[in-house]
Every structure is written in structure tokens, then in C-alpha cells.
Structure 1
Amino acid sequence: MQNRLPSGRGNIRSRDHQIESDDCCVACCCCCCSIWLYLFCCRSMKRTLRVKLLWAYMMILGLTTGVVTGVVLFGSVDTEMSLSDMRIVDRKLSSVFCDNVDIESENFDSMFDAYFMKHKPTILPGIRETYNETYSKFIEEKSDVYKQFYLLTGSTVKITGQVDSYIELSLIRGQDNFDKYLDSDMQCIECVLEWRSMFKYGVENINFDIMDTDLYFFVFVSRLEDTWIDLHFRLRRTVYDTSQNIGYCPDATSCVFDFDMSTSETPVVLIHAKASNKQHFDVEPITIQTSCVGRSWLFVIIFFGLPTFLSIILSILIISRCSDPQPQQELPQNSRYPDERTPLLWDTIRAPAVVVLPPKYEDIVRADNNLPSYEEATSSNTSIQPSNVNIVVQQP
């Protein structure tokens, strides 16, 4: 019996919890249904109120949908780029909803080349661009630093230099794998694409061949002690073919491209972070923002005009098909409360209390003219006769 009690109690708790959850779900469903039933004839109300609720619902729905479309679906996109990166931006762009795309750098020192392309460009296999950067960082014990580059297929990376203590170098492909690697406290083995060891005071010469186009992170981890790293990155990058562009902004910090609504496909934006052939030192990534400037007239037609048109049609249906509720008939003022003289209530209503007073003593006499006692006078069996009544006997 003792072994069964815990399981029984647990079942009762889980059953009660399930009942509470079901009640909550039923309440939520009923609430939603009650709100929408006000638009139809399932609820009793005046047609004018029903039409007002319809217009309120449609305007709120149109406004909410327009804001979500303009901000969430076709809003701004921030792209973090290292120097010499070439990246295609095709997120949150539409030739229908966007009148133009506005491209801006985070500051005036971060310049870029922007290309407006009808289609996604292809990679030129026979052309390489060289980029050099010196990377010097201090790493605390059991911590990490990283360097990121967006590399196209066919690019190569060569890392040379020295470290002051044992360092682990991990190459991670993609933002998702990098986030998982950090969340796991650098213990996610499957997130690492390649791994290298860098020894104290050794001359490093590490090479990576890039097989897929993606964002790559070079993560340096010091697990033994605080240390310095003094490295040199040499990149030989493949590049996109930009000869088929329909718009070009060279050496810009801001740029605008117009969309053609008649095209069947949405053009893409290609951004190339500017870099020279000289040596660069510890260059931080820059942020390029691309923003869809919406077609105002199209948003007005879809998210205001269409709900207005539907509201007019539904309002006509409501007025023609639904009817106002009938007013309740009120009872007359004198029939609101039951009458005490109603025969149906005679058995239930108590009669008012009546105080019966006994006759006066001097008004009661007996046949022998002797005054009765008080008990005899008040007794119901005593024949009494008032003394002040004169008996007249008529003589024949």
C-alpha cells in the first residue's frame, strides 16, 4: 500500500493539471470565438454596433499587417563585413513592395563598392585578389578571441607568425555553428570545421582551403595562461563577376538603387568592402545597412484600400441580412408585483393578526339575572345575553 500511494497521488496531480490546462484552452478559444461572433448574427446586437465593430476590426487588421510587412518582412538588414569581403544581400528586398534600396555605411570612414545585379552573380574562377592583415591580440587564460571573414569558394587563407604560449586554433563555418560553439563554452566539437595547435615560440605556417562560400571564424583559445599572439593573415580571394551589373556605386558610404516593378525577378545587391594592397593592422568589421524604401501608394491600396472595400461589402450584407434585436416588453407597473388578493396566493399568504377582545363584564347576564363569573363570561359554551336588551312580549 505504501508503494502505491506516491504513484496514485502523482496521477491525481497530473490529472488536475491537465484539467486546468484544458479549462484554460477552452476559455481562450471561447474568448476568441466570442470576439468574432459579434460580427455575425450569432450575437444579439444592433446592426449599427455590428458595423462599427466590423470597421474597427478591419482597420486594426490592415494597420497591423501593413506594419509587419513594412518593418519585419521588408525592413532594414545590418550586414557585418570585414575589409575586402564581397557579400550578396538579397534579404528583405522586393521589386513589388520596395521602391528603392538604400545602402549606408556605419561611418564615413568605412567605404564600399555597391553593385545592382539582376541575378545572383557567379564566381570568377581564374581571378584572385590578395589581402594582407596583421593580427595582434592579448588572450586571457581560458578565453578566446576571433577573426571573421566572408570567403568565397576557391579562396585560400595562410596564417603565419608566433604565439607566446600554447594556443588552439579552430576554424568554424557559419554564424549558427559559431553561436553554438560559444554557448557550449567552447566544447562543441561538431561545430568546428578544422582544428590546429599553435606552440610556444614556434614559427607558424597554417593553410586553409575554402570549399564553400560562407562566413568563417578563426577562433584562438588559450587554455593554459594569459598570452599574446602576433599573426599575419594572407588571403587570396576569389571574386564575383560584376560585369553584368545594372547599377554601380564606387567608393561610397551611401548609395540608392531603384527597383523596376515590371521585372519578374527581384534584383540583388552586391557589396564589396574596400581594401587596398597595402598592409592592414587589426581592422575591425564594419556594418553596412540595406533598407527597403517601400512604395507608399501600394501600401495604402493594399493595407487601407482593400480593408475599406471589404468593410463596405460586409456592412451592406450585415444591414441587409441581420436585424436589430426586438425590445423587451415591460410589464405594467401594477402587475410587476403579485397581488395579495390573488386566489393562487391565498394559501401561501398569512392573514393579518386580529386581536379579539372579550366582552365587557357588565354587559353579560344569565337567565337568572345573576352575574356570571369571568370564566363563564368568556367561555364559548355559556349562553349569554346582553343585559341592556329589553324583551318586549306582545299581548294577543
Structure 2
Amino acid sequence: MTHGIGAIATGAIATGCAGGCSGGGFSSAAFNAGVFAGATSSSSRRRRNNEGTGSCCLLCSFILFFTCLMKMKPRTRIILTWFYVILGAVVATVLTFKHNARAKVPISPSDMRIVNQPSMMFCDRVELDCSSLIDYYVMKHEPSIDESKVINYTENVNGNIERDTYEYWGFYLLKGSNVKMSYVISDSIVLYVFKGDDGFNKWKKDVNCYDCYLKRWFLFNSGTAEYDIIETDQYYYVFSNEDQFVLPSKRVDVTFQLSRTRYVLDDVNIRCPNTFDCTVELNGEPQVIVVRMPEHSSFDSPVNVYCRPRVYMYFLLYALAPCVVGICVTVAIYRFTRLKNSSQRDRSESRVHIVSNDERLSGFGYGSVQLGPNNQSDAVIRPSSYSAAQKVVQSNSGSPPSYEQATKKEHV
């Protein structure tokens, strides 16, 4: 049985004029101050817009860089790839381990419920322990509910409920169970019945959530109420003091008479009866764990469920697989870069004119240059003779000096 108290919330939001509201009137001083403030505000707004534009550009650059959408060196792209691979592997490992590492299942006297088993993929075995002596059962399939056999359990509770507060008691009930209540209260009060945590949590935030509860009673003085359970779940019985006037707290005395159905335990593989802990090996076959707390237990106690990790599965999924992905992406980047550089080199070489051995070159040269793939002697380009150069110059600008005259003048 779970128990708690809380304050009633209506979900309304109060609005008003903070610090008072004023109106009417015109003042020249106020007008001038307003104009000056408007000009200052406009100037500061322009500065903020410029700063915002620069910040936006910087943010866009960061986004483009970290998403590898901007031009960058292949080495930088590869480093970013491995950064994301390692980061993703670490985050996934931590989240998976945290999700499967530990869980708590609340259990009360006379409760019988199925424990949500951790993932068999990531858990090698499951260890369960409880501070009370309880029974553990492990089966291959989810057991059926025997509605013909019930056990009776009685719980007496009481409380003083102040104005605009509530107090609740909760039970985990199997399909086919029945709850009878006999109550004595000092004044009128409202009783709600909730199925599951979702509707109850919504009602806690807004008491006007009319589709959150299964049933509502207005109780006066004393009487009885009864409710049949049509679906297995956690059920909450909430007593709410919704008086609009300041009145003394209301005394509530309630007796819950539970007729509880049970699971059929015919196909049980492992039994850990009347013990604090139990270990269940997960060998790849689906297994269902059922826990039962005896009726004579005196207090509630959660069952702790621990998952012992399957190390090789973590290694395969979060170490080996990311490395394979990172290597594939790295090879793809390297090959694409080589292909791109090769195509650019081919385009640059296509602009160079290669002279064959049969072509004749004209002009003046001051050294011997060998062309052709075989470096043949007939491909040697030599400077023109003096007589040939003399004929060319005579045809363009008249008679040049003789060789002897030119050399004599040069030595002088």
C-alpha cells in the first residue's frame, strides 16, 4: 500500500498589474523624456541588431563546421568524424547502462506482481533483493490470473485532512479483485478512484481534470463504497477536502477490505521462497519474474532489481561497431580526396602543349633543351647561327655591325 498527502491545485494562473496601474494625463517633460528614451532605444536596438547579426553568423559558422558542411581539409573532416563516433559510443553506453543498471518495484503486504525484467540483450543475470522476506518465482511465460481463488486482506487507515489538501492510499490490484470500503468522517468529503500514475499525476496539477479519474463519490458522515477491478494496475483512493471556507480539518477513518485474485504458479522454473534475495540467470530465453509479499508482513518494502551487464554485448555494439563505422567513413573521405586531386591534376596537365619530335621551334635560345620521351639527339634545340640572325636583323632594321666590330667595341 502506498500512502501520501498533498495540496489541491486548480491549474489557474493569476494575472494583474504589478506595482499598481496608472492612467490618464499628459506631461511635456514626460513627452520629452519619452522621445529621448525612444531615440536611445532605437540606437541601442540598431547596435543590438548588428551584434545579433555577428553572433548569428558566428553561430552559423559553428553549425556548418561541426556538421561538416563547410569546406575543410580532409584531415579536419576525419578528426570530426572520429570525435562524433567516440562521443556517440560513450553517450550510448552510459545511457544504456543507466537504464538497465537498477530499478525499484514497490511491494506491500499481500501484493503479488510481475517485475519488469531488464533487457536480456544487455544483462547477463538479474539479482533481486528486499528488506523483507518475500517469495520469488521465475517462469517462462506470463502467468494467468485465477479469478476464482481470492485471498482477503484488511487494511485500517485514518487521517486528518486540512482544507484544500488531500490524502491517498494506493494498492496494486490484479484483474478480478474487489475493494470494499467502510468509512467514518467528521464532515462531507470527496473520494476519487484513479487507475495508474498518469491520470493521478495530471489530477495533482489540476483538480478540474474530469477525465483523469475513474469514479468520484461525495461522502457524508459514514457509509460504504465498493469498486470492482477490471484491469491489472496500481489504483489510488484519494480523499479530498475541497471546502471553500476555513473550517477545522476533517477526520477520516477508513477500512479497506480487499478480495485479491492471484497468479497461477504451475509452470515455475525457479523458486526462492521466504528469502531476502534471489539471482536469476538470463540465458537468452524469455523469463517472467513474479514476487509475492505474505499477508502477515508488517510494512511496505521495495524490491531492488540489479542488472549484471553482459560485457561482450557492450563491446560489440558500442566499441567494435563504432570503430567499423569510423574506419569506413575515413576510407571514404580518403578515397574521395584522392579522386578529387587526381581530376584536378588531369585538368591542369591538359592545358600544357607538349611538343613532339617532328615539330619545329623558332626563336632564339641560349641553352640546349632536350624534348621527347626518348631524349633523341634530333630533338635537341640549338640557338640560331650568327649568319641567320644577321639576315633577320638586316631585314628588320638595316645592316648590323660585323662580328669583329661588335667584339672590338665590347672589349673597348
Give the SS at the match of 1:141.
coil
Equivalent of 2:237, from 218, 225, 229? 218
Letter in 2 for 1:171: V
Shift of 1:230: 2.0
* 1:44/1:208 CA distance change after superposition, 3 Å: closer
| Structure 1 position 32, deviation (Å) | 4.0
How far residue 206 of structure 1 moved from its aligned partner, in angstroms, is 2.1
Aligned to 2:213: 192
Quick one: distance in 2 between partners of 1:150 and 1:128? Answer: 15
SS of the residue 1:253 aligns to: strand
Contact 2:136–2:292, Cα closer than 8 Å, also in 1 = yes
C-alpha distance 46-144 of structure 1, shift in aligned 2 (>3 A): closer
1:239 to 255, 262, 270: 262
Correspondences of 1:216-295 after superposition (within 5 Å): 216-222=235-241, 223=243, 225-261=248-284, 263=285, 266-276=286-296, 283=299, 285-295=300-310
Cα distance change on mapping 1:138 and 1:306 into 2, 3 Å: same
2: CA distance between counterparts of 1:312 and 1:191? 53
CA contact (8 A) 1:165 1:225 kept: no
**TM-score, length basis structure 2:** 0.62
Looking at structure 2, the residues matched to 124 and 271 of structure 1 have their Cα atoms a distance apart, in angstroms, of 16
- Are the structure 2 counterparts of residues 291 and 29 from structure 1 closer, same or farther at C-alpha, using a change threshold of 3 Å? farther
Q: Distance in 1 between matches of 2:63 and 2:308?
A: 36
- Where do 5+ consecutive residues of structure 2 fail to align? 1-50, 342-412
Tell me the residue number matched to 1:310.
325
Alignment identity in percent? 27
1:268 Cα deviation from its structure 2 partner: 2.6
User: Shift in Å at residue 43 of structure 1?
Assistant: 3.2
How does the TM-score come out when normalised to structure 1? 0.64
What are the residue-to-residue correspondences of 1:117-156 with 2, within 5 Å?
Answer: 117-156=139-178
Q: 2:104 aligns with which of 55, 74, 78?
A: 78
Q: By percentage of residues, which structure has more helix?
A: 2
Matches within 5 A, 1:50-199: 50-72=77-99, 74-90=100-116, 93-105=118-130, 108=131, 110-184=132-206, 186-199=207-220
Secondary structure of 1:120's aligned partner: coil
> How far did 1:156 drift?
0.9
Q: CA deviation at 1:28?
A: 6.5
The alignment yields a C-alpha RMSD, in angstroms, of 3.1
Partner residue of 2:65 out of 25, 34, 44: 34
Deviations 1:3-61 (A, max 9, x none): xxxxxxxxxxxxxxxxx9999999867644422428xxx734254x5444333322222
Q: Deviations over 1:41-87 (max 9, x none)?
A: x734254x544433332222211122222223x34322233322222
Partners of 1:143 and 1:116 in 2: CA distance: 42
Q: Distance in 1 between matches of 2:68 and 2:72?
A: 10
Deviation at 1:179, TM superposition (A): 0.8
Note the C-alpha offset of 1:240.
1.0
Query: Which of 56, 67, 71 does residue 43 from structure 1 map onto?
Result: 71
Q: 1:6 is matched with which residue?
A: none
- Mapped partners of 1:29, 1:253: distance in 2: 58
Counterpart amino acid of residue 264 in structure 2: D
Q: How many residues end up aligned between the 2 structures?
A: 287
Letter in 2 for 1:192: Y
Q: Which residue of 1 aligns with 2:225?
A: 206
Q: Which amino acid aligns with 1:232?
A: T
Confirm or deny: 8 A CA contact 2:167 2:239 kept in the other structure: yes
> Rg larger in 1 or in 2?
1
Report the Cα distance in structure 1 between the residues aligned to 2:170 and 2:52, rounded to whole angstroms: 48
Q: Secondary structure at the match of 1:138?
A: strand
SS class of match (2:302):
strand
Contact 1:95 / 1:267 at 8 angstroms: preserved in 2? no
